[in-house]
Amino acid sequence: MADALVLHVNSSWTSPYALSAFVALKEKGLPFELALLDLDAGEHRRPPYAADSVTGRIPALRHGDFWLAESSAIDEYLEEAFPPPGHPRLYPADPKARARVRMVQAFLRSDLGALRNERPTSTFFLGEAAKPFTPAGRADAERLVTVAERFLPPGADSVAPAAPDGPAGGPFCIADADLALMLHRLVASGDPCPTRLADWARAVFRRPSIREWLSHTKWRDR
Ligand SMILES: N[C@@H](CCC(=O)N[C@@H](CS)C(=O)NCC(=O)O)C(=O)O
């Protein structure tokens, strides 16, 4: 029997990183078990999870006796362990296009800290009210729009750019889920976001893989 896949996520279903790994597994069409951890109760700091998960954070993937943390590492592992054409593609095949997708994922995980703090996912996954932006939060919001317009030029369906000899970008790569979630920090709170980007983020959030995540939250379409 193939090694079982178990994804560890937080029981409040608010983690954007856990969402990315969950969507990757769903888009690949892989059967997997979910293990829910209550972060408020500190379940992720207790043995054996604290050590098994390597970082003591969620998400963490167990594949047989192999453990892996860090959402983008999980996404990439799944792509390589369950590669196309046998499984749907999460990253473009072309090295430059693939590098651009990794760039989007890295940017979304390292930058925009003030926006992430001031528009936490609890505003749309738990229905909590958003507070007015500080100058730093507003600057991050504006930067997100500027950079997202570069990631997603007019007409693009996906941040995966067109391969030189392949079809136009898209229709989906895993960084689309990450970028759509980041844009929803603005859209869900009614903060300024160009209609084109907001509509794109809404379309990405209509994917069945993401709807399934949303069904565990208080998400409502806006
Ligand atoms: N860079 C990590 C971030 C993971 C992360 O920040 N997880 C948070 C939940 S969103 C967590 O485990 N927080 C609990 C803690 O750090 O104690 C990834 O991409 O997976």
Q: What are the per-10-residue average pLDDT scores of the chain (222 residues)?
A: 92 98 98 98 97 97 98 98 96 94 98 98 96 97 98 94 57 96 97 98 98 97 92
Phi and psi angles of residue 221, each rounded to the nearest 5 degrees, phi first: -65, 140
Maximal C-alpha separation, the chain? 55
What CA–CA distance (Å, rounded) separates 24 from 30?
Answer: 9
**Nearest ligand 1 atom, CA 45:** 17
How far is the centre of ligand 1, averaged over its atoms, from the C-alpha of 90 (Å)?
22
Relative to the CA of 15, which ligand 1 atom is closest?
Answer: 10
**Does ligand 1 have an atom closer than 6 angstroms to the CB of 7?**
no
Which residue among 57, 67, 70, 182 is best mutated to probe the pocket of ligand 1, counting the most ligand atoms within 8 A of its Cβ?
A: 57
Whole-number Å distance between alpha carbons of 92 and 222? 30
CA 5 to chain centre: 19
* Cα 57 to ligand 1 centroid, rounded to whole Å: 5
pLDDT of residue 213: 98
Cβ atoms of 106 and 182 within 8 Å: the answer is no
Rounded Cα distance between 59 and 20, Å, is 9
Residue 73 tokens read as 């590492």
Q: How far apart are CA 30 and CA 32, in angstroms?
A: 6
Q: Is 29 left (phi over 0), alpha (psi -120 to 50) or beta?
A: left
The model's pTM is 0.96
CB 68 within 8 A of CB 54: yes
Short-list 174, 191, 213, CA closest to 9: 213
State both tokens at 97. 């296009």
**Could you identify the residue written with the tokens 């997603």?**
152
User: Which ligand 1 atom is at minimum distance from the Cα of 69?
Assistant: 20
Looking up tokens 């990757």 gives 24
Res 161: pLDDT: 76
Residues 6+ apart with CB under 8 A from 110: none
The pLDDT value recorded for residue 168 is 46
Distance 17 CA to ligand 1 centre (A): 7
